[in-house]
C-alpha cells in the first residue's frame, strides 16, 4: 500500500511538471505559428492543447485512484484513469479531424511560411516532449499514463517532422510541404487515439481483458482436482491493471474443509497463470436449472465460497 501511495505521489509530481512545460510550449508554438504562417506549428499547438487536457485528466484520475473504496464505490476509483484516457482519446480524434480539414483547405489555398522560425520552435518542442515522454515511460503500463505518454511520444515524432519539413521548405521553396506535414500529424494522432479508445472502451464495457483468454481460464479451473465443471464464468477489468473473476464451479458433495482446499487451489492457479487476485467463486453440486439465471441450491449455500482477496496473492507469489 505504501508503494502504491509513493507511486501515485511520483506520478502526480511528474504530471505537474509536464503540465507546466506543455502550457509554456503551447503558448510559444501558437504565437510563432501565427508569425511563421505555419499550419504545421499551429497544429502542434493544438496537439499540445490536447496534451494539456490529457495531463489534467490524468492528474485528476491519479488523485481519485488513490482514494480508498467505500460503501458507495465498493471497487474504489480504479476506473477513473480509464475514463480519463477514453475522454482524452475522443478529443484527440476530433482534433485530428480539424487538423486534416484545415490542411486540405491549405493545399488548395497555399500560404507562404517562414521555415527558419518553424525549425527553431520545433527543436524546442522535440526537447520538451522528449523529456516529458522519458519521465512518463516508467509508468506507461497504466492505461491512463500510457495515453499521456503516447501523446508526448507522438508529439516528439511529429515535431521532429516539422523540423524536417521546415528544412525542406527552406531548400526547395515548396509551400505544400507544410499542410502535408499537418496531414501526417493528424494521421499519427488518429492511429494512437484509436488504440486508446478501443482498450478503454473494452474496460468500461466490462469486456474480457485483451491479454486473457476465457477458454484458457476455464481450462485452468477445470484442471483443479475436485472440480467437475465451470459455468457462468465472467472475467473483467477493474482498472487498467487489475482483473476480477466470478464463476460457478461444479463439485461433488463433500465436507466444507474439502471445498476450502479446492477454492485455494483455484485461486492459486488463477493468480499464477493469469494474475487474477479478486475472485468470487460459488460452488454447486448440480448445474443451474432455473430459467432466470444461475443460483446455488438453498441447501448448498453454506458451501458457496466468496473470496474477495485483493492483496494476499499479490504478496505471497
pLDDT per position as a tens digit, 266-280: 888 888 888 887 888
Question: Which tens digits make up the pLDDT trace of 76-117?
Answer: 666 777 787 788 788 888 888 888 888 888 888 777 888 888
Looking at per-residue pLDDT, the higher value among 65 and 248 belongs to: 248
Beta bridge partners of 283: 249
pLDDT (0 to 100) of residue 303: 39
Question: Residue 76: CB partners within 8 Å, gap ≥ 6?
Answer: 65, 67, 68, 69, 70
pLDDT (0 to 100) of residue 51: 74
Question: Residue 230: CB partners within 8 Å, gap ≥ 6?
Answer: 218, 221, 222, 247, 248, 249, 250
DSSP H or E stretch at residue 280: strand 278-284
Q: Is the pLDDT of residue 235 over 60?
A: yes
Burial class (CB in 10 A: 0-12, 13-18, 19+), 6: exposed
User: Domains of the chain (ranges plus CATH)?
Assistant: 2-204 (1.20.1510.10), 214-316 (3.30.70.1350)
5-9, 75-79, 104-108, 172-176: which has the minimum mean pLDDT? 5-9
Q: Is the pLDDT of residue 121 over 50?
A: yes
Question: Around 44, how many Cα atoms within 13 Å sit in the side-chain half-sphere?
Answer: 41
Cell numbers placing 53: 487536457
Q: Is the pLDDT of residue 22 over 80?
A: yes
Cell numbers placing 78: 480504479
- State mean pLDDT over 41-65: 74
- State mean pLDDT over 237-250: 82
Cell numbers placing 246: 466470478
Question: Which tens digits make up the pLDDT trace of 291-307?
Answer: 345 544 433 333 344 44
pLDDT (0 to 100) of residue 10: 74
Provide the sign of the torsion angle of the four alpha carbons 288, 289, 293, 298, taken in this order.
negative
pLDDT (0 to 100) of residue 110: 76
Q: Is the pLDDT of residue 312 over 80?
A: no
CA distance 217 to 211: 12
Percentage of the chain with pLDDT > 70?
79
Question: Which tens digits make up the pLDDT trace of 217-233?
Answer: 999 998 888 888 888 88
CA distance 185 to 45: 12
pLDDT (0 to 100) of residue 21: 85
Mean pLDDT of the chain: 76
pLDDT (0 to 100) of residue 294: 57
- State mean pLDDT over 232-237: 87
Looking at per-residue pLDDT, the higher value among 302 and 184 belongs to: 184
Q: Give the predicted TM-score (pTM) of the model.
A: 0.66
pLDDT (0 to 100) of residue 309: 45
Q: Is the pLDDT of residue 289 over 60?
A: no
Burial class (CB in 10 A: 0-12, 13-18, 19+), 37: middle
Contact present, 281 and 235 (Cβ < 8 Å)? no
Strands 227-237 and 278-284: unpaired
Looking at per-residue pLDDT, the higher value among 247 and 185 belongs to: 247
Amino acid at each position: 500500500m505504501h508503494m502504491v501511495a509513493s507511486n501515485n505521489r511520483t506520478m502526480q509530481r511528474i504530471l505537474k511538471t509536464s503540465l507546466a512545460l506543455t502550457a509554456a510550449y503551447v503558448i510559444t508554438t501558437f504565437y510563432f505559428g501565427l508569425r511563421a504562417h505555419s499550419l504545421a506549428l499551429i497544429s502542434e499547438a493544438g496537439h499540445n492543447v490536447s496534451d494539456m487536457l490529457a495531463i489534467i485528466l490524468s492528474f485528476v484520475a491519479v488523485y481519485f485512484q488513490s482514494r480508498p473504496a467505500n460503501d458507495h464505490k465498493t471497487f474504489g476509483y480504479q476506473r477513473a484513469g480509464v475514463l480519463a484516457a477514453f475522454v482524452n482519446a475522443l478529443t484527440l480524434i476530433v482534433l485530428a479531424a480539424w487538423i486534416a480539414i484545415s490542411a486540405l483547405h491549405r493545399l488548395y489555398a497555399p500560404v507562404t511560411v517562414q521555415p527558419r522560425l518553424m525549425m527553431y520552435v520545433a527543436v524546442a518542442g522535440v526537447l520538451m516532449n522528449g523529456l516529458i515522454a522519458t519521465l512518463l515511460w516508467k509508468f506507461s503500463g497504466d492505461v491512463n499514463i500510457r495515453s499521456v505518454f503516447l501523446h508526448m511520444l507522438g508529439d516528439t515524432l511529429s515535431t521532429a517532422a516539422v523540423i524536417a519539413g521546415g528544412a525542406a521548405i527552406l531548400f526547395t521553396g515548396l509551400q505544400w510541404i507544410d499542410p502535408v506535414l499537418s496531414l501526417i500529424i493528424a494521421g499519427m494522432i488518429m492511429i494512437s487515439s484509436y488504440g486508446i479508445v478501443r482498450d478503454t472502451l473494452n474496460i468500461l464495457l466490462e469486456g474480457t481483458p485483451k491479454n486473457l483468454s476465457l477458454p484458457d481460464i476455464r481450462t485452468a479451473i477445470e484442471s483443479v482436482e475436485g472440480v467437475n465443471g465451470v459455468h457462468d464464468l465472467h472475467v473483467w477489468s477493474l482498472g487498467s491493471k487489475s482483473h476480477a473473476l466470478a464463476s460457478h464451479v461444479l463439485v461433488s458433495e463433500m465436507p466444507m474443509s474439502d471445498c476450502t482446499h479446492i477454492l485455494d487451489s483455484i485461486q492459486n492457479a488463477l493468480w499464477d497463470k493469469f494474475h487474477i487476485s479478486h475472485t468470487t467463486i460459488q460452488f454447486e453440486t448440480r448445474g443451474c436449472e432455473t430459467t432466470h439465471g444461475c443460483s446455488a441450491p438453498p441447501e448448498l449455500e453454506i458451501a458457496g465460497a466468496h473470496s474477495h482477496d485483493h492483496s494476499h496473492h499479490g504478496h505471497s507469489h
